[in-house]
Amino acid sequence: MKYLFTFVFTLFTILYTIGQNKQAYIIYKKNGKKTTYEQMLKQIQKSEIVLFGEQHNSSIAHWLQIEVLKDCFSKRKLMLGAEMFESDNQQALNNYLIGSITQKGLDTLARLWPNYKTDYAPLVNFAKDSHLVFIATNIPRKYASLVYKRGFESLDSISSSEKNWLAPLPIAYDSTLPGYVQMLAMFEGHGGANLPKAQAAKDATMAHFILKNYMANNLFIHFNGAFHSDHFEGILWYLKKQSPNYKYLTISTVTQADVSKLDKENIDKADFIICVDEDVTTTY
């Protein structure tokens, strides 16, 4: 009932703002020029690998994610993947997709995010109903925690079977990438130089499992927090380092008090930027 109320209230908010000649969101190109959903969709369908960067509690982003899947399904062979599933939970996810376990079984066997039911179950259930591959791409959190505490070197001592859940070692790392520099500045004193390394371990692992599972002539849509792909860094940096010739596209989600013009700091965050009114109801 709580989830139904949240959905109805969110839908009411969106319809109300539109009815008052306001827009709940506007989509921009990377240069800050306004565009349309149809134009974004056209470019998505021309791509091979898409990184759909979200704000995890954005009702607009989650709604657009499922709409993109519906609109692409009849046009392209689809593959899906997400940061929200850790690589060692792939078998549980597979079992749910083929119907050998129930949702309750998936809840038990996989480390699902607290907002799974409202925000990610629709994507997984779309994959299940449509018989699509869905890849768990993220590094298991205990290994990211190891990097955060003791650096990349801590991964050398884990077992060979455990290393199957990570990007191949040693993990490439460029500490000068602006995103990692910004993270270090923002959280100075919390993890030190190892904090962006833990982020890089996630980025590298997600890129690894995207490329490991990608099949030619498919459209692979990957869902991740926008910070993992903003400014064409993070996951995309690792993807291009390994496979520079694929057709990549990135999407970011931002919030602003006024969506009528893209704020300067949000320009060039991605190929397409979904700019959401900051007053739109969030999912949590």
Q: What are phi and psi of 2, to 5 degrees?
A: -60, -45
Report the pLDDT averaged over residues 67-91: 97
pLDDT band at 1 (very low <50, low <70, confident <90, very high): low
pLDDT band at 5 (very low <50, low <70, confident <90, very high): low
On whether the CB atoms of residues 248 and 47 are closer than 8 A, the answer is: yes
| CATH number for the domain that contains residue 193 | 3.40.50.11550
Q: Is 71 part of any domain?
A: yes
What is the extent of the structural domain holding 113?
Answer: 25-277
pLDDT at 189: 59
Report the pLDDT averaged over residues 268-274: 98
Nearest to 70 by CA among 126, 131, 14, 125: 126
16 pLDDT above the threshold of 60 = no
Q: Is 133 part of any domain?
A: yes
Percent of the chain with pLDDT over 70: 92
pLDDT at 191: 63
Q: Is 20 part of any domain?
A: no
Read off the pLDDT of residues 222-259 as tens digits, 9 standing for 90 and up.
Answer: 999 999 999 999 999 999 999 999 999 999 999 999 99
pLDDT at 250: 98
User: In one letter, which amino acid is 122?
Assistant: P
Read off the pLDDT of residues 182-193 as tens digits, 9 standing for 90 and up.
Answer: 998 887 756 688
How far apart, in whole angstroms, are the C-alpha atoms of residue 277 and residue 266?
A: 14
User: In one letter, which amino acid is 159?
Assistant: S
User: In one letter, which amino acid is 94?
Assistant: N
On whether the CB atoms of residues 276 and 253 are closer than 8 A, the answer is: yes
The average confidence (pLDDT) of the chain is: 93
Q: Is 205 part of any domain?
A: yes
8 pLDDT above the threshold of 80 = no
69 pLDDT above the threshold of 90 = yes
* Locus of tokens 């949702």: 103
pLDDT at 17: 47
How far apart, in whole angstroms, are the C-alpha atoms of residue 52 and residue 205?
A: 17
Q: Is 213 part of any domain?
A: yes
20 pLDDT above the threshold of 80 = no
Q: Is 16 part of any domain?
A: no
Q: Is 17 part of any domain?
A: no
pLDDT at 22: 84
DSSP assignment string, 79-148:
EEEEEEEEGGGHHHHHHHHTTSS-HHHHHHHS---TTIIIIIHHHHHHHHHHT-EEEEEEPPHHHHHHHH
Q: Which two tokens stand for residue 1?
A: 């009932």
Nearest to 202 by CA among 231, 158, 233, 242: 233
Q: Is 108 part of any domain?
A: yes
Read off the pLDDT of residues 139-159 as tens digits, 9 standing for 90 and up.
Answer: 999 999 999 999 999 999 999
108 pLDDT above the threshold of 50 = yes
CA 184 to chain centre: 21
Report the domain count for the chain.
1
CA 139 to chain centre: 13
Percent of the chain with pLDDT over 90: 88
